[in-house]
Amino acid sequence: MKRKLSIISLIFLFTLTAQAQVEPIKTDSLQEIIITSTRINLPFKENSRTIDIITSEDIKNSASTNVADLLQQVAGVDIRRRGTAGSQADLYIRGGSFDQTLLLIDGIKMDDAQTGHHTMNAALPLEVIERIEIIKGPAARVFGQNAFSGAINIVTKKELSNSISVKAETGSFGQLNGGVTIGSSLENSSHIVHVDKMSSAGYRHNTDFDNSNYFVKSVFNKNKKAVEMIATFQERKFGANGFYARASATEQYEETQNSLIGFSTQFNTEKLTIAPRIYWKRNQDKYVYLRNDPTVYRNLHITNKIGAEVNANYKSKAGTTGFGIDMSKIYIRSNNLGDRNRFMTTLFLEHEFKAFNDNLDITPGVAVTYFSDFDFYAFPGIDIGLKITDQLKAYGNIGYTYRIPTYTDLYYNDSSTIGNPDLEVEEAFAQEIGIKFFSPKFTGSLALFNRDAQNLIDYIRPNTTETIYTATNIAEVNTKGFEVDVAYHFKWSGFNQTLAVGYNFLDDDILDQNKDLSRYSLNTLKHQFTTRLSTQLFKNVSQNIIYKHAERTTGDSYNVWDASLALQLKQIEFTITASNIFDADYIEAGFVPMPPSNVLFGLRYNFN
């Protein structure tokens, strides 16, 4: 352990004391990325919202081995993990709940009607991800009702050259990981196949896990009308010591399965683009209170979502019009929630106007959704952007957003938690202003945001002596804050170096209303500071140091350091990833202490 800390400290000090030659990195890849999660496709630089991009290079330099750990490094995104390897984690953006953030895979909505606890079940292996688009703030008019506080779109790789990559990893807590990624590019089709397995004995009693990931992406008929297919399957089996009921519930156990299959294509003319898609998403969740005696208490939920959507945009002298329709049918079978179904249809319409030599862009839009078990709802909004110079842009947006209750909110029932079939829909009106700066060696953004919400759903007890919490629409809640992101790119001894810093401040008044009576709403990140230093000191050696500071509204505060070292020798890559280097004692979710200092050794071989 001492040797590991010495190595990391030496890397850190050597990097900081290096004489940096401020020479910009010749890369415009970030600025030229097209945001594909919207109907009106725009370069990242031109978008008038707060959008963060995690590129494939960022992923490589993240010292992360899974999406949950990766997203922890983004200011404004709060990943509350229970254990390691992303086995169970909840996703929050700007103080919203885990039910209020939408995850997409190549634009396919991965929301789960049972509960937002399953959002991260769909997270893919890092090996198949091209980039991650993080849209902060209300995005309901673009994606629909689950994007209450933001959305995250995981964009998978389009194609890999003919290659095979094999990895093997081992480390603390009996971790054993292995995987293979195959790329095949043929004359009229291309294919990516990935399989991996991760296991661990656990860092404390009943925190072992056995996780598997399967991924296939194929493009057929490349030379004419290409058809893209994506198929994923993730299975997680893990001991859930203290994950849910209470800290004393040490013998809980859970198994989840998440699968997706989708087909899409695109029709293009000079002015019109039409992109149809069909998909089927399935999630299965099995939970037992006592691992060795499932008869005491057991839940089994199976949710199926079948969807079809068509998105389009039309370019004219008046600007670009985006429009679309999204239809889906949801079925759930559950021994606790019952057998239920829901039909949803959403119509989208937006138009981008440009004026003053294209320096001003105005994009009003609206989404109208029908829920078979609720009603019609509309999500209007508008984005405005002003290009001050080629490198500097100011922007602002306002919009309404909604979220209908999950089936857990409505119907769940156990000894301490009761759903409420009379719940109303969550609503909010949000505003944001910001400014962005781009240059080859420096990028930065500042955003101020405000959200006025009503009918937010929380689990409340009437007094401190009551032990049963009931799903309830609580009073109005105001959430406001600001966010800063900067990245500095430079060269030292001919090698690329990056220093990235993010800070998010968030303040809400929910504590004034439910301090002693709420079960879930008291763990918001008030201060969040993240830093990533990615350096290369020698030709084949690169290293990354990650620092995260968090202070929650409950008063909990902690500092976590992670690091990685990679050595590339032709087709072989050796990696060392160290997490929680200085052994911070902290909790992100519920009653689950996060793992102590741990290390993972990896070997990857690329067959070309």
> Under 8 Å CB-to-CB from 174, ≥6 apart: which residues?
199, 200, 201, 202
Inter-residue contact 365 to 141 (CB < 8 Å): yes
- Work out the burial of residue 2: count CB atoms within 10 Å of its CB; fewer than 13 is exposed, 13-18 middle, 19 or more buried: exposed
Pair 63, 564: CB distance under 8 Å:
yes
Burial 297-334 (b: 16+ CB within 10 A, else e): eebebbbbbebebebbbbeeeebbbbbbebebebebeb
Residue 511 CA to residue 139 CA, distance in Å, equals 26
Would you say residue 466 has pLDDT above 50? yes
* Pairs from 470-475 (Cβ < 8 Å, separation ≥ 24): 470/417, 470/418, 470/419, 470/420, 471/405, 471/409, 471/410, 471/412, 471/417, 471/418, 471/419, 471/420, 471/423, 472/420, 472/423, 473/423, 473/424, 473/426, 474/510, 474/513, 474/514, 474/518, 474/521, 475/513
Query: Residue 9 pLDDT more than 70?
Result: no
Q: What is the pLDDT of residues 531-546, one digit of tens each?
A: 999 998 888 999 999 9
Q: Cβ distance 398 to 431 under 8 Å?
A: yes
- Average confidence (pLDDT) over 447-458: 93
Residues in CB range of 58: below 8 A, 6 or more apart: none
| Mean pLDDT lowest among 40-49, 91-100, 393-402, 511-520 | 511-520
Chain centroid, CA 173 distance in Å: 26
The predicted structure's pLDDT at residue 3: 40
The pTM for the full model equals 0.92
DSSP conformation class of 413: B
Residue 533 and residue 547: Cα distance in Å, rounded?
A: 9
Task: Tell me, rounded to whole angstroms, the distance of Cα 450 from its chain centroid.
Answer: 21
SS3 6: helix
Query: Which of 332-346, 383-397, 505-519 is predicted with the least confidence, judged by mean pLDDT?
Result: 505-519
- In this prediction, residues 12-34 reach a mean pLDDT of 44
122: helix, coil or strand? helix
Summarize pLDDT for 252-282 with one digit per residue, the tens: 999 999 999 999 999 999 999 999 999 999 9
